[in-house]
Structure 1
Amino acid sequence: MANIQLIATDLDGTFLSDDKSFDKALFRVVLDKLKNKNIQLAIATGVHQERINVLLADFLDEGMAYVTNNGARVTNADGQLIYERTMALPILLRVQQLLIDFPVKPSRGLVYSTDDTAYIPSEYAHITLQTHRRYFKKVIIFDDVSEIKAPILKVTMNWQNFDETQFYDVARQALGDSVHITETGTGAIDIVAAGVNKAIGLKMLADNLGISMANIAAFGDGENDLEMLMAVGQPFIMPDASITGPFNPVSADNNHAGVLKTILDMI
């Protein structure tokens, strides 16, 4: 195995089991081993920091780095913000209009998010409120995006029993290169600023640490992991991933601590 100095893992469908849990005892073992070998662990996810803080509440003082919101925000192990790309109001207005025009409304909600606040359009408040109270410090209802004064990192729309790739295609045509649109593989679409993805965020972190991308291992399972997996020296893919490529297999699926077991094998 090449000289791995940083390991990055996606959360949903990769590190976390389907019920959003993980083997805490095994994670503790892995963290200790990584520390002994001076290998940095990074969480590279589509979700925002506040959600990670809930999911990984027992491990927040373990010196992990975070690439969140599909690469739009990066903090190093010292908690320093080293990169952030937000979406300008003209772009948010175009996204809003696109969703107004699109015939199939996101039946599982629509959220414009900062790192700790969910901004929810009033027409979606009834379906989105409960699910987001747990994962955001604040939930703010609005009528028009022009009311939002905070820097928005990501817009997420979520459908139930609908092929979200139909929206993806329409959005790509309507918004073009002004944004980066990615499927999460869970019925949701994320829209972030142009040029933002997990590979870009991870590169910012690697540069901050003085680490080459060739000395990084990464784990993922979905469309929003593809750029990251293509960019690192040791890419690992989950057994039931929705993407394919020249990637190393993970030894077990996300419900059987595949990421943690593979890391132990690796180090």
Structure 2
Amino acid sequence: MVATDLDGTFFDNQRKINQEKFDKLLTYFEAHDMHFVIATGNDQPLVDMIFEPFIGRFDYNVNNGAQVKTKTGKSLRSSAFTRTDLPEIQALIEQDDTMHFRHGIIFNGIQDSYMLAHYKGIGDLYQDIRWYFPNLKFIDQISDIPANEEIVKVIFSAAESEAKNFIKHTNEAFSEKYHATTSGYGAIDVIPANTNKATGLAYLLDYYDLNADQVMAFGDGFNDLEMLNFVGEPRSMPNGDAYLINHFKNAIASNDQDGVLDTIITELALPLT
């Protein structure tokens, strides 16, 4: 099994992949009972939009492990907040009135994603986040989220120093309920406790009767750390966070140079041309 993060890892800097090379890799995997996993903080609608030509050929470990599905669509995990969690998380984020929001709070659900209306247009990353959530719905208050919606992740972005302090405080004071993590640059995900890419990947390993030693995984940021520590063959991206670069073997090239695909092909000696 191979599992990979997307931004800064599998994606190049234009959020694209080498589709021809990826198709050949998947064809080889399918012929040899191997599995390719998209392991990302992004949600399934975005993954399906980008990888539309390949749907049905890869497994999902999305929303930082909160949602896990097989390539055939079988749901293995859906780790969601309770409705009483949501206002508590909002208050936790907004308690520091000096926070420099680079984009506002988004409640990421299974069906849709929701932003509090007073954050509309706020922050230098607002337009960027709309790429990730093109169908974002605006709400006046949390109670406007439909009753049948499951919220699996709460996200926002702040200055990097503020993000670091928020993550430290949240994981120290609320570790039994929440887990805060970052993909870098001040982006923060708050997810249910015991939810990360490693615990999500474990569901797929159980399903396919594999173990972690049989997995090569790729990542560039701290939301990949648990997964990289978990698998037998972790690879950090040479363009990634310095901590990961110094603690794990690096991919043979950066995200902008087909680093994930070429590392898999080279290290597994795959006969792909």
- TM-score normalised to the size of structure 2? 0.88
Match of 1:252 in 2: 253
The reply on whether 1:32 has 2:33 as its aligned counterpart is no
Q: What is the total number of aligned residue pairs between the two structures?
A: 261
5 Å-filtered alignment, 1:177-256, equals 177-242=176-241, 243-244=243-244, 246-256=247-257
Gaps (5+ residues) in structure 1? 1-5
- Which runs of 5 or more residues in structure 2 are unaligned? 269-273
Query: What's the CA shift string for 1:67-96, capped at 9, x where partnerless?
Result: 000000000121111111001122211111
Shift of 1:29: 1.8
Aligned with 1:46: secondary structure?
coil
**Cα distance per residue 1:212-261 (max 9 Å; x no partner):** 11111111111011111111111111112213365222000000000000
The verdict on how the C-alpha distance between 1:239 and 1:134 changes in structure 2, with shifts beyond 3 A counting, is closer
Give the Cα–Cα distance (whole angstroms) in 2 for the partners of residues 249 and 100 of structure 1: 38
CA 94–184 in structure 1, closer or farther in 2 if over 3 Å, else same: same
CA contact (8 A) 1:94 1:175 kept: no
In structure 2, give the amino acid aligned to 1:108: H
Other-structure match for 1:3? none
- State the superposition RMSD in angstroms: 2.0
Residues 99, 105 of structure 1: 8 Å contact kept: no
| Aligned residues of 2:100 and 2:159 also touching (Cα < 8 A) | no
CA distance in 1, matches of 2:31, 2:163: 44
Cα deviation per residue 1:158-214 (whole Å; 9 max; x = unaligned)?
136765213323433553431011011132000000110000000011101111111
The verdict on how the C-alpha distance between 1:161 and 1:250 changes in structure 2, with shifts beyond 3 A counting, is closer
* Identity percentage of aligned residues: 31
The within-5 A match list for 1:9-24 is 9-24=4-19
Residue aligning to 1:80: 74
Instruction: Give the whole-Å Cα distance in 2 for the aligned partners of 1:210 and 1:217.
Output: 16
Q: Tell me the residue number matched to 2:271.
A: none
Return the letter of the residue paired with 1:223: F
Alpha-carbon contact 2:110-2:150 (below 8 Å) kept: no
* Residue 96 of structure 1: aligned partner: 90
Distance in 2 (CA, whole Å) between partners of 1:246 and 1:212 is 22
Residue aligning to 2:266: 265
Tell me if 1:7 matches 2:2: yes
Alpha-carbon spacing, 1:88–1:236, altered in 2? closer, same or farther (3 Å): same
**Cα separation, 2, equivalents of 1:79 and 1:206:** 16
Matching residue of 1:144: 141
Q: Is the 8 A contact 1:49 1:116 kept in 2?
A: no
C-alpha separation in 2, matches of 1:28 and 1:176: 41
2:218 counterpart SS class = strand
Match of 1:64 in 2: 58
The 3-state SS of whatever aligns with 1:190 is strand
Shift in CA distance, 161/67, structure 1 to aligned 2, threshold 3 Å: closer
2:66–2:196 CA contact under 8 A, matched in 1: yes
Whole-Å Cα distance in 2 between the matches of residues 92 and 19 of structure 1? 33
**Aligned partner of 2:249: which letter?**
N
Amino acid of the structure 2 residue aligned with 1:54: M
